[in-house]
Structures are given as C-alpha cells and as structure tokens.
Structure 1
Amino acid sequence: MKTFFTALLLCMSLGCLGQNIQLKGTIKNEDKQAIEFANIVLQTRDSNMVTGASSDAKGHFELVNISAGTYRLVISSVGYQTQEIWLADLNQSRNLGEIYLAEEAFALDNVTVTASAQRSEIDRKIVYPSERQQKASANGVDLLQQLMLPRLQVDPVNNTIQIPGDGEVQLRINGVKVTNQEIRALRPDEIVRVEYHDNPGLRYGNAEIVINYIVRRPETGGNFGVDIMQSPHVAWGNYQASMKINHKKSEFSANYWGGPRDFYGAYRDNQEDFNLGNGTELHRYEKGVPSHWKLMQQWLNVAYNLQDNNKYQFNVSLNYSGNNVPIKRFKGQLINRADETDYVDMLDETNSNYHRPSLDVYYQRNLKKDQVLIFDVVGTYNKEFSDRLYQESRENDMLTDIRNKVYGKKYSIIGEGIYEKKLANGNRWGAGLRHTHSFSNNDYINGHTYRTEMQQGSTYLYGEFRGKAKKLDYMLGIGGTRSFYRQEGSVDLYQYYTFNPRLTLKYTFNDRAYLRLRSSISNEMPSLGNLSAIDQVIDSLQIQRGNPNLESYLYYRTSLDGEWSKGIFHTYFSMSYNYKPNAIMDEKYVEGNKIIQTWDNQKNWQSLTPMIQLRVSPVANMLQFSVSGGLNHYISNGNTYKHRYSNWWMDASLSANWKNFSFMYQIMTNQNRLVGETVSGDENAQVLMLNYKWKDLRVGAGVINPFTNDYKTISENWNQYASSRKSNHLQESAHMAFITLSYNFSFGRHYKSGSKKVSNQDSDSGIMQTGK
C-alpha cells in the first residue's frame, strides 16, 4: 500500500510539472521587425489544436500549461509564409528565440481575411482587404473606395483616383503601370493585397502616390467580365469588357472600355475685362445658351505574359487609347457691360480627336542572392487633330471669323534598365538608367500653313539605398538628369543638367504611430506644345503664342506627415511645402491692339498644403466613415505679377455593407489651384450608390449630384490686361440617375504569380492647345 501511494504521488507530481511547460518566442520578418498579431497555434501530431496565442506589439508570444508530448507549432500572419516547427518529445519549457517569417507575395491563396489588415514600411502601406470588403466590391476601383486609404479621393462613377493638390497618382498591377480602366477590370477576389506607396522611390519619377495591386492568376482556365453603367435619361455611360486565358506559364488578356457622352445642356458664362494700355478698355459678358457636346472615349489593351516565378517574366502589351469629339459647341452673346444693348452673337465650336497606340516590351530576370534585373522599352505614336471655328456676328454681318486647324504627330520611345539587390538586415539598394526621346511634326493651319518639327529627350541616372537603425528607417536617393530639345530650323540645341537627390526619414513609435520627413528635388521640362513658335488666334482681341525659349526648371518638395490609430479611430496628417524657381507659367501682354497669351519662365511658384484625415470604423468593414479637410495656399510670383490664393476643402465618404447590400455616399468640395495668373479646379460633387451582389452578379443604382440643381466648374485669370471669370455648366450632371450591372465568370485554379515592376508611357500630344 505504501508503494502504491508513493507511485501515485510521483505521477501527480509529474503531471503537475507537465502542466507547467511553457513555450515562448519572438516573431519577426526578414527585416528583423516585430510582427504583431501573428497567429501561434500548438497542434498535436494529428493536427488537433491544443492552445494558441497572438504576438504582441514587440512580436512576443507565450503558451502556458502545456503537457509533455510531441507537437507541431504553426506560426502564420497575413502577408507572410506560414512557419511550422516540429517539437518532438517536449518535456520542459523552451524559449524558441527569434522566429523569422518570409514575406509571401501571394500569401492569401488559402486564407480568408475576416478583418482588413495593414502593416507599414518606410515607403508604403500594405493593406489586405477583408472578405466583406471584397464581397461588397465589383472591381478594383470599388475596392479602393472601400479601403479609404489616406489622401486618396476615389470616384467610382467617373473612374478617377486622385489626391489633393497637383500630385500624380500612378496605378499598377503586379508592378505594371496601368490605366484606371485596367483597375476597373480587376476581380476583387483576385486581389491579394494593395500596396499603397506614399513615398515612392526615384524610379517612379515625379509620382506622389503609387498604388500597386498584387493579384493572383489561374494556372489554367481564365475569366470573363462585363461592367456596365448607364443613365436611363441621359446619353451617358461606361461600358467595359475583359477576359483572360491562362495556360501553364502563359497568360493572354484583352480589355476594352468605352465611354460615350452626348449632352445638350453644355454652356459657359464668361466675364472678361480688357485694358489695351492706351486708354482703350472693354468690359464684356458672355451669356451662354445650352448647346451640344458629344464625345466617345475608348481604350483597348491586348497583352501576353510568360513567367517562371523564380526565374523570369516576359510581358508584351499592345495598348490603344482614343477620344473622338465630333462637336463641342458653345453659343451665346457677348454683351458690353457698359451698354447692354451693344452685343454680338458668338459661336465657339471645336471638332477634335486623338489616337494613341503604344507597344510595351518588358523583361525581368531574378538572379541569385536576391538580385533583380529589369528592362523595359515602350514605343508610342500620338496622332491628334483639332478644328476650331470661332465667330462673332451682329445680325447678318460677320465681324470675326476665325478657323484654326491642327494636325499633330508625335513619335516617342522610352527605354529603361534597373538593377536591385536586397542586403542583410533588410537593407536594399538599386540603380537605374532611363532615356526618353520624342519627335513631333505639327501642321498649324489658320489661313496659312505653318509646320513645326521638334525633338526632345532626357536621360536619367539614379541610385537609391534603404536602411534601418532601430526605430528609424531612412532612404537616400541620388540622381542626375540631362534634358535637351531642339526645334528644326534652329541651330541651337538647348540642354540642361540637373541634380536630383531624395531623402526620407521615418521614425516608428509603434505599430500604430509614426512620423516621417521627406524631401526631394526633381526636374520639370517644358512641353513641346508650349515650345512651338506658332501664333493661334483665340478671338477678336486675343492671340495665343508659343515660346521656343522656355527652359527646364527644378521642383523642390518637402513634407512632414504621420499616422496614429487606436481602436476604431485612425488619423493621418500631412504638411507639404513645394517650391518651383523659374517655373513655366502663363502670362499676357499687349502687342498693338491685341492681347498676347503665352508662357515664360517666371520668378517662382510656391504652395503650402496642410491636411488631416479621420477615419472611423464603428463596425469593422460593415460601417466606415472618413472625412478629410485641408488648405491649399499658393504663391505665384511672375516676372510682372504677384498673386496669392487660398482654398479650403473638405471630402467625406460613408460606406455601409450588410449581407449582400452595399451603400456608398461621397461628397467632394472644390479644390482650386493657382498657377501663374490662372485659378482652376473642380466644382462640388456628390455621389449616392446602392448595390446588391449575388455570387458573380452585381446590380445597383445611383445618383450624381442628388442635392444640387446645377453642375459647374469655375476658372479665373487675374491678368492686368485681360482678366476673366469663366464658369462651365453641364445641366445633365445635376440629378443624373444611373444603373449598374457587373458580371464576372471565372474558371481555373490559382497559383503564385510574379510581379512586373516597371512600365513607362508617353501621353503628351506634343501640340499647342487653343481655345477659351
């Protein structure tokens, strides 16, 4: 009996000791940064769960009260490869130390994200859409609106993605630079994550924001989709069709988008004041009447992609974009404000179109030791035509009859090579060389025929290093640019050399707050259209003239921004200062009895743009509200003028998802900007949408500007010789209802895909535009 009790006590003691076994460790990524909210699951050898935990803000985890035995420890986190550790005959507590998770480009193939997850790096924010957000979206633009990322202003109706101010937003799919239409063709369930680069590197040029959609693609099969948006009472619509076919390492894709518009309520009002400097003054008012404006926008893309994820990627893309405007008519009366019985009838009518095919050939080679080589060549042909008729008449007498025709052709080629290497401790460095060369041949016909033949080019060499010192991330880039242009008939070759450094410092307090300072110097070149030594008559008093003596100038940018989040609240702020010495801006002067409109290198242009955003998610991914506001303050110092202008703005967005229904309301106030002597911008806009999604089909309805009776955009010019205040109206854009239908059908299975990392394009027509 004594032996029995001794054995029983010994077993109980061992049992108690077994229950006290602990496991702990620290989860980090390859850059040795802590991963918060990683899932740690302890399983038996037959995969039954024993216990689990999540890592804290420092990546630490601890599992307690474990019995002795053999286990499998599974560590997973959104965006990283799952790590499994085999624990054979575990009979005492262990500290596993630092456990590193490798980043997975397509880690969500078999994972359902129930709540939108994010993580921040020095140059980007990586966002993983939730299942509910994907279900509520019909395409990539809708999903971006659901994510409510800082600074972004997403308009899913007009298919635009922009930011406050004049910054460029680049869109990419797996690293490939794409258009809004290609984003609209994306299936939400194929989007693994969205990389929001708010501090893009030197190879992205002057882009302020880069949004890169990382998508998966099927190994076999493919998909087909249509997306239709149509107003039942206005000739306005958006039509899109897309398809992809996959076979092993190959993918064939085709996308088409068409946007017809036919308005009969377009008109403008324009108040003008002229002072010819010799005592002659004229103060007149253009009173417009509703007129006809018709256009058809089209875009087509056909592509072939061949890739082996671990070795190479080869991509050939043929693109076409075009816009045909058979008629854009403004009619009205020009009334002398000093004597309203003194007026003339006015007609300003334009017929224009452009066609822009391009071919993009891309090759990426993955080398050993985390090295990558990228080569990209793009050839573009721009063909543009414009025919403008301007008339002023009184009764049957023709007082002014102006006809300007422009035939423009431009050929360009862009070549780029990039080398990148990942170093130890998460450091990286890279270098690249990009050359752009273009030729333009333009015929200007206005009673006489004038031809301009011009060429323009630039060569850009850069290097960039990214590193980390504890909580401080830094990025240093150094680049140099040689730019040149020449107009045929001139023996002079204008060329400039500029130095383009970039510095970023980011201090991360924790996973919920950071502060970042950014500064850069980039190069701005004059457009070929502004360089053209051509006169074009605008009306009876004004002439537009190009300036072949324009010079390149530098663009200095500095910003301080930061984020803070806690619970359902997320805030973002930024303060930016931009400076352009010798900026190319407009000016006007008197020549005889005419006002000459032209461009010149002015003294400087400056802007100060503070903004703040608050996002609240009281019910995660079911109800979200975002409001942004700020100030745009501009200083424009010309050679003969000084102007200042301030514009307060506010945007708000509400998104609600319930079962298969989704609701969205947006309001965007105007964000005007001053450049030179011209203030321009957009008018207040509102969008209201309700959608229902069932499997691969989504139907919905909405209203544009439901609470306004008139849609207009206003622009002003403050020149001392010829000032104006113009408002363009579009009656159909007020209370415009529309219906939507989206259907996507897919077949095939998924696999991990590589990413094309760069793409270039040339969308500058190369001709000088004219008109009021």
Structure 2
Amino acid sequence: MKRLLIAILMVSMVQGVFAQKIEIKGTVRNATDNEATEFVNVVLQTTDSVFVNGVSTNNHGSFIFNKVEAGNYRLVLSSVGYNTQYITLNGVKRNTDLGDILLEDASVALEGVTINGSSQISRPDRKLVFPSERQMKVSTNGVNLLQELMLPRIQVNPMNNEIGISGGGELQIRINGAKADINEIKALRPADIIRIEYHDNPGLRYGNAEIVLDYIVRRPDTGGSFGTDLSQGVNAMWGNYNVFGKVNHKKSEFGLSYYMGPRDFYGMYRDNEETFRLADGNTIQRVEKGEPSHAMLFMQNLNVSYSLQASKNSLFSATFRLRGNNQPNWDYQGVLYNVNDETDMVNMIDRTKNSWTRPSLDLYYQQNLKNKQTLVFNLVGTYNREKSHRIYQESLHNEILTDINNNVLGDKYSLIAEAIYEKQFSKGNALSFGLQHTQSYSNNEYRNGHNYDTRMNQGNSYIFSEYRGKIHKLDYRLGVSLTRFYYNQSGNDKPSEKYNVNPKATLHYTFSENSYLRWKAEVFNTTPSLSDLSAIEQTVDSFQIRRGNPNLKSYMCYRTELTYEWKKGIFYSNLWGAYDYRPNAIMDEKRQEGNKIVQTWDNQKDWQKLSGRLMLRVGPIWDMLQLSFTGGVNHYMSHGNNYSHTYTNWYYEGQASFNYKRFSLFWQINTNWNNFWGETLSGGENIQILGLYYKYKDLRLGVGAFNPFTDNYKVENENWNQFASYKTKSYIKESSRMFLVSLSYNFSFGRKFKATQRKVNNSDNESGVMSTGK
C-alpha cells in the first residue's frame, strides 16, 4: 500500500511538471532605426497552423503570452508597412524571452498571415479581424465571409450580397486601401484574404465615413483567377449574376468584373392616407387604396482595372467603372376615396420610368519615401446622365381630371483631385496632411408644361491635418480641417461661398487587451445637394408642388460619441451612445399657396438625435456556432422654422450562424430602424433571411428564403406636416416568402506576390436631379 501511494505521488509530480504553464515574450523593433514598434500583431500558432493566442505589442514594442503549455510553436509577427516574420519555437519547456525581434519595412507591399482560429485584435484606430479556417472553408467570396464575422453595425444581406450599416450612414469599402464597390468584394476569394481591417473611428482623410472596411489581400505575380456568382429567385424574377477575373504578369495586374441584376415584380402597390389643409380654409382627407401593378428594374456594373507596381515603393492604378440602372416600370395604381364621402372617388395611376448611366475613370499613384513617408495622388472624373419620365393621372369615367407629365434630363460632370502626405514617427505617432477639391457642373432640363433649364456650378475644397499620439495607455488623435463651399446657378447674380473650420478629437483608453473606452467629438459641415438647390418646380399631384431653393446654405454638424468594448474568449460586447446636433439643418417644409401645397427645403432651426446601442455576440462552439444580438434606441428632436417634432424608435437585430463540415446555415432578423428628418418619418425594413449552403472545393450551392414567415412585407413612411400630412405603406408581394437558389464557382492559379496598399478613395454618385414622385 505504501509503495502504491509513492507511485501515485510520483506520477502526479511528473504530470505537474509536464502540465506546467510557461510564458513567451519578446520586443519588436524596426530594423531600420531599431525603434520599438507598437501595435504589431503577434500570433502564436501550433506547428500545423492552429491558432493558439494573439496579442499586440505595447508602446514599448513588448508582447507576452502567459499560461502557455510546453510544446512546439510558430510565432507570426505582422503589421501594415512591414514584412511578416515567422519564428519557429521547437521544444519550448520553460519561460522564453526572445529578446529583440527586427521587422523589415515592406513599403507598398504587404504580406499575408494564415490563421486557423478566428481572432480580433483591437487597436485605437481599427480592429484587425482574422477569419478562421472554418469560416474560410464555408465562404466563397468577401461578402459571405464578412457575414460569418458578425461585426458591429455591419449588415450583410446574403440573398443579394449587399453590405450596409445598421441605421444608414456612409460605408466605405476598400481592397488594400483602394476604393472598391460591392462587385469587387464579391470577386474576392476567401483564400486570398489575409484579414479585414474594421475602422469604426475613421480619420479625417476618410471624410464623413462612419465605417471603413478594408480587405487586405494577397496579389500574385503570375497566373490569375476567374469565377462566377449567381443567385436566382424561384418564385419571382429576381436575379444577381456576377462574373469576374484577374490576370497577373510580373509587375502588372489586369482585372475585369461584370454584374447584372434584373428585377421584375407584378405585386407592387401602396396604401396611402393624405390630409390637405388649403389656404381657403378647406380640408380634404382622402385614402389611396392600391392595386397590384408592375415594377421592373435592370442594373449593370462593369469594372476594368490595371495596376502597375514598378517597385516595392511605388504603385500606379487605373480603373474604369461603368454603372447603369434602367427602371422602365415603377408603377402604382389604385382608387382615391374622399374620407367624408366614399362615393366621391377617382381612379389614379402614378407611373415612373427612370434610367441613369455613370461612367468614371479613377487614376491613382502612390510613392513611398524614406523614413516612413508616403505621398498619394488621386484623380477621378465622372459623368452622370439621368433620364426620368413620370405620368400621374386622376380620372373619373374615362375623363382625365388631373394630368401631370414630367420629363427630366440631367447631365453632370465632376472632377475630384486629392493629394495626401503621411509621416510615421516612433512609438506609433503619425502626422498626415491632405488636400481635396471637387468641381461639379450640371445641366438639367425639366419639361412639365413649363420649360426649365438649369446650369449649376459647385465647388468643394477640403484641407486637413491630423496627428496621432500616445501617452501610456491613452491614445489620442487630434485633427482640423478647413472647407470651402462655392455654388452658382445661371441667372442668379449672388453666388454662394462659405468657409468652415472643423476640429476633430478622439481619446482611446485601453484598460487591458480585452477592453477599452473611446470618446470621440467632431465638427463637420454639410453642403446642400444640387437637386435641392435647383430653382425649378415639379408638380406632384392635384394638390402638391415640389420646389427647389437656390438660397440654401451649408450648415455645421456637431457630434460626440462614447464606446465601451469588452471581449473574453467566446464572448464579445459593444456598448455605444451618441449625440448629434445640427443647427440650421436643411430639412423639408410645406406651405400653403392658394389651393396648392408647396413642398420645399430650407435651413431650419435645428435637428438633434440621441442614440444608444448594445451588441452581444457569443460563439458557444467557437466558430462553428455564433449568435449575435443588437438592441438600440434613437430619439429624434426636429425643430423647424414653423414646426417641432419628437420621435423615439426602438429596434433590434439578431443573427445566427452554424457551420459543420461543408455545410453552413444562416439566419438573420432586422426590425425597423426608422429615421426622422424634418417632418418626414422614413421607415426601415422589417425582414428575415434564412439560408443553407453546401461547399465542395471551389463550388458552393445554396438555397434561401427572404421573409419566409410573413406574407405582408411592407415599408412605412409618414409626414407630419400641418398642411399636408400622409401615411404610406408600400408593398412588394414577391418580397414575402421569396425562395432563391445560388451557385458560386471560382478558381485561381499562381499566388505568390504581396498585396499592395492604396490610401484614398473618391467617387461622385449624386446626379443633381430633383425627384418628382411622392
């Protein structure tokens, strides 16, 4: 018995020795100047590339892994602007200090890291999101890979491969820093994606963007890639068809992608309640009872690109983009009833035919200089051409009582030029300057019984400077910009010109690797759109007229927000609150003019919004099963020159993703996020999406359903004006219980070269044409 106890004790001691936890640490320095390098991503893997842990270096360049089991490991160190370093650690049995690890500058080129366990590393200015091996295997492109990651505020619609921000706002999508569109993201192979950089606190150089998603990808020096992504509705004419390809030869890369999206519905209609209080004292209340009608839409996008990396310090790219949208039918029809006398009714049709074409050419050049300096130049030219034809008629017994025929032809030319200088210092400090100028010319023709021709000239200049620094655990970013807005319309002897100074500050305090607190405050200005500035009138219906206002002025926006984030293992939470204040905001208003109601825009008193949001995410079975829930509230206060309104909107969003072997199941629900601006409540979508996918090598098949559990999909909008209010519900019958099938296939060859990083993005997507419909 005594010998048995001794044997058990000895075994326990041996097990204790082998189970001993050790630590691995080191210091990362720049090989050029031997300065400590902070925010380097350090990943600890097993020798077969299974993710163990990940950390970032502190402001002294140091990192440490605690409670590591003895064994064989590989250390991967990577950071933007440096070559990735791999260190093999064989037979680690005791605490290990690796000493100084030197990273070489990578200039324009970036290297990839493969990670087999999902990881997110938070930095003061962005998150580094590394997809797991399982997430890579079940995805076929950059959109459905993003869906698996469930990032805060990012909404992914897997039915049509769309990416948006919960509640709206500007989302910038980039590939290696270069401006990209959704079709280019669809063309990305998950195997080529190193990581996704999620900027929810973008700097001044990103303009008014709320979130920036930057896909960091590998670039081959030979070979290429080709693929297709197809989705088709089973019980409705709804399709998304994509083909894409890239070919690389030494220092050059050629790319081509084409997207086509047809929509053809026969179950679109609307119900509308309107109240008109005319200047003569009469009040008219009427109800529009809609009848199913025709909606047809055809979208096309073409991208042709060329890039040349003549050396590791320089990059040139040229991209031609052609966007097109043809909407031959967007028709409403029904009966208008007088609420006080239901025998008083008329038939109504409201049909709109619209098309626009938008070719653009984007030229980009980047030169990296010594001592971590970068120069960037970007030039984008865009031509917008838009045609619109609207017919609105009210009739009784085949006699037309109201006949409105609006024809609009718009031409807009714009040129965007930008130059940026960036300088990085030791300890992560950085300084940047930038200059951007946008010049727009528009020539619009309006024919609606009157002939209006408008010639408009608009210029926007933007100069900014921003500095990023650090004091112990507190990171800060301070910036200031100067903007100039110029506008002139032919026939107007008083051109408008205004200068504004816009400061911005961010404080980011890191409690630990798992939590931080960030405060941000900014001031920026908003300029009126060319469509609102047009000195023309458009008849809407028998009682309403829409009129532009050439006297609109740009206005200032003040915004502050607070974010707290905590994560631990499979748990993640993000708590966010914000306050917006916009005095003299350009908002809608309506006024009486005889037996007509005139809708226009003006600089109103102010608009305010209080917002709060909580996101919770958990992966009970790590990246096999993930659940995400977001709940929030928006409280709006809209004060016009002649009105005052408040509105509170509660909303929630939920997602669930399950991956097993080659199968993936996805479910998503969104309740209405409603926006209130001026006197208009714009309702969001209340949707559910369910999808099941199977992937075999480079082929992915899927089936899905849009709103599978409801048959009354609708979007609600309201206007609370005292003279002309309305409450509209718009329906598309085919959007309820719509089933889809999808197929994706891609292949590639020869991926060895490192991806390039581009710094700016510019585009002009505004037509400058006033809309005519309700």
TM over 0.5: yes
Say how many residue pairs are matched. 736
Report deviation, 1:38. 4.2
Partner residue, 2:3: none
CA offset digits 1:632-659 (Å, max 9, x no partner): 1111000000001111000000000000
Report the alpha carbon displacement of residue 61 of structure 1 after superposing the two structures with TM.
5.4
Q: How far off its partner does 1:250 sit?
A: 0.3
Contact 1:482 1:495 in 2 (8 A): yes
Q: For the Cα contact (< 8 Å) 2:29–2:100, is it kept in 1?
A: no
Q: Which residue of 1 aligns with 2:15?
A: none
1:360 to 362, 367, 374: 362
Contact 1:381–1:411 (Cα < 8 Å) also in 2: yes
Contact 2:280–2:594 (8 Å) recurs in 1 = no
Matching residue within 163, 166, 183 for 2:165: 163
* One-letter amino acid of the structure 2 residue matched with residue 460 of structure 1: Y
Q: Which moved further from structure 2: 486-495 or 666-675?
A: 486-495
Mapped contact 2:23–2:64 kept (Cα < 8 A): no
1:82 maps onto 2:85 in alignment: yes
- The AA in structure 2 aligned to 1:607 is K
Deviations 1:179-231 (A, max 9, x none): 11211121111111100001101011000000000111221110111000001
In the alignment, residue 450 of structure 1 is paired with which amino acid? Y
**2:713 equivalent in structure 1:** 711
Q: Does 1:317 align with 2:319?
A: yes
C-alpha change, 1:541 and 1:371, in structure 2 (3 Å) is same
Match of 2:620 among 618, 624, 633: 618
CA distances 1:230-270 after superposition (whole Å, capped 9, x unpaired): 01221110000001011001000011111100000000100
Kept after mapping to 2: 8 A contact 1:557/1:577: yes
Q: Which residue of 2 aligns with 1:346?
A: 348
For the residues of structure 1 that align with 2:333 and 2:69, how far apart are their CA atoms?
84
1:59 pairs with 2:59? no
How has the CA–CA distance of structure 1 residues 54 and 374 changed in structure 2, closer, same or farther, with 3 Å as cutoff?
Answer: closer
Counterparts of 2:494 and 2:687, CA distance in 1 = 48
Distance across 2 between alignment mates of 1:601 and 1:526:
10
Partner of 1:205: 207
The answer to whether structure 1 residue 575 and structure 2 residue 580 are counterparts is no
Q: Flag the 1:731–1:34 CA change in 2: closer, same or farther, 3 A.
A: closer
Q: Is 1:120 paired with 2:147?
A: no
Alignment of 1:27-426 (within 5 A): 27-28=27-28, 32-33=37-38, 38-39=43-44, 59-60=63-64, 75-77=75-77, 81-82=84-85, 84=87, 97-99=99-101, 109=112, 112-308=114-310, 310-426=312-428
Q: Distance in 2 between matches of 1:475 and 1:185?
A: 35
Please give the TM-score of this superposition, normalised by the length of structure 2: 0.91
- Label 1:37 to 1:429 Cα distance change in 2 as closer, same or farther (>3 A): closer
Q: How much does 1:737 deviate?
A: 0.3
Moved more, 226-235 or 305-314: 305-314
Structure 2 partner of 1:454: 456
- Distance in 1, matches of 2:407 and 2:535, equals 16
- Displacement of 1:749 in angstroms is 2.6
Structure 1 residues 330 and 81: alpha-carbon distance in aligned structure 2, compared to 1, 3 A threshold: same
Unaligned runs of 5+ in 2: 1-19, 31-35
Cα pair 1:309 1:753 within 8 Å, conserved: no
Query: For the residues of structure 2 that align with 1:305 and 1:415, how far apart are their CA atoms?
Result: 19
* Bigger mean CA offset, 166-175 vs 326-335: 166-175
* Bigger Rg, which one: 1
Q: Check conservation: 1:27, 1:38, Cα contact below 8 A.
A: no
Moved more, 270-279 or 32-41: 32-41
Deviation at 1:323, TM superposition (A): 0.5
Choose which of 470, 473, 488 in structure 2 pairs with 1:471: 473
Q: Which residue of 1 aligns with 2:17?
A: none
How far apart, CA to CA, are the structure 2 residues paired with 1:693 and 1:573?
Answer: 36
Change (3 A) 1:281 1:54: closer
Query: Which whole-Å CA distance do the structure 1 matches of 2:447 and 2:491 have between them?
Result: 19
- Corresponding residue number in structure 2 for 1:640: 642
Map of 1:12 onto structure 2: none
Q: Which residue pairs with 1:26 in the alignment?
A: 26
Question: Which residue of 2 is the match for residue 8 of structure 1?
Answer: none
C-alpha distance in 1, partners of 2:499/2:560?
Answer: 22
1:605 to 596, 604, 607: 607
Shift of 1:707: 0.4
Is the contact between residue 28 and residue 100 of structure 2 (CA under 8 Å) also seen in structure 1? Answer: yes
CA distance in 2, matches of 1:344, 1:63: 78
Q: Distance in 2 between matches of 1:512 and 1:526?
A: 42
Residues 332-384 of structure 1, C-alpha deviation per residue, up to 9 Å, x if partnerless? 00100111111000010011100000000000001111110000000000000
Shift, 1:56, TM fit = 10
Q: Deviations over 1:656-709 (max 9, x none)?
A: 000000110000111001000000022310100000000010001000000001
Measure how far apart 1:310 and its partner are: 2.2
Quote the offset at 1:65 in angstroms. 13
Structure-2 separation of matches of 1:64 and 1:181: 43
Q: CA deviation at 1:472?
A: 0.5
Name the SS of the counterpart of 1:141 in structure 2: helix
Q: Is the 8 Å Cα contact of residues 56 and 121 (structure 2) preserved in structure 1? A: no
Counterpart among 486, 489, 501 of residue 499 in structure 1: 501
Q: Distance in 2 between matches of 1:555 and 1:711?
A: 35
Whether the 8 Å contact between 1:27 and 1:98 is mirrored in structure 2 is yes
Contact 1:315 1:362 in 2 (8 A): yes
Does the CA-based 8 Å contact 1:25-1:99 persist in structure 2? no
Report the secondary structure of 1:380's partner residue: strand
3-state DSSP of counterpart to 1:767: coil
User: Structure 1 residue 473: deviation in Å?
Assistant: 0.5
Q: 1:276 to 1:704 in 2, by over 3 A?
A: same
Write the distance in 1 (CA, Å) between the matches of 2:404 and 2:260.
33
Q: Distance in 2 between matches of 1:703 and 1:65?
A: 46
Displacement of 1:585: 0.3
Q: Is the CA contact (8 Å cut-off) linking 2:218 and 2:751 kept in structure 1? A: no
Q: For residue 525 of structure 2, what is the aligned residue in structure 1? A: 523
Give the distance between the partners of 2:587 and 2:24, measured in 1 at CA: 63
- For the structure 1 residues 213 and 393, does the alpha-carbon distance in structure 2 shift closer, same or farther, using more than 3 Å as the test? same
Secondary structure of 1:707's partner?
Answer: coil
Contact map agreement 1:296 1:325 (CA 8 A) in 2? yes
- Do 1:25 and 1:98's aligned partners in 2 also have CA atoms closer than 8 Å? no
Q: C-alpha distance in 2, partners of 1:398/1:257?
A: 42
| Structure 2 partner of 1:769 | 771
Q: Which sections of structure 1, spanning at least 5 residues, go unmatched?
A: 1-19, 42-46, 67-71
Please say if residues 26 and 61 of structure 1, whose CA atoms lie closer than 8 Å, have aligned partners that are also in contact: no
Q: Per-residue deviation at 1:528?
A: 0.5
**Alignment partner, residue 657 of structure 1:** 659
- Cα shift readout 1:2-46 (whole Å, capped 9, x = no counterpart): xxxxxxxxxxxxxxxxxx9x99643457664477874399xxxxx
What's the CA shift for 1:160? 2.6
Alpha-carbon distance change, 401 to 93 in structure 1, aligned in 2, over 3 angstroms: closer
Matched residue of 1:465: which SS?
strand
Q: Quick one: structure 1 residues 743 and 24, their matched pair in 2 at CA, closer, same or farther if it must change by over 3 Å?
A: closer
CA RMSD across the alignment: 2.7
Rounded Cα–Cα distance in structure 2 between residues aligned with 1:268 and 1:459: 43
Matched letter for residue 584 of structure 2: N
How far does residue 165 in structure 1 lie from its aligned partner after superposition? 3.0
In 2 relative to 1, CA 108–371 (structure 1 residues): closer, same or farther, beyond 3 Å? Answer: closer
Asked if the contact 1:27–1:55 (Cα under 8 Å) also holds between the matched residues in 2, the reply is no
Q: CA deviation at 1:586?
A: 0.2
Q: 2:751: which partner in 1?
A: 749
- Percentage of matched positions with identical amino acids: 51
Per-residue deviation, residues 614-636 of structure 1 (Å, max 9, x unmatched) = 00001111100000010011110
What SS class does the counterpart of residue 144 from structure 1 fall into? helix
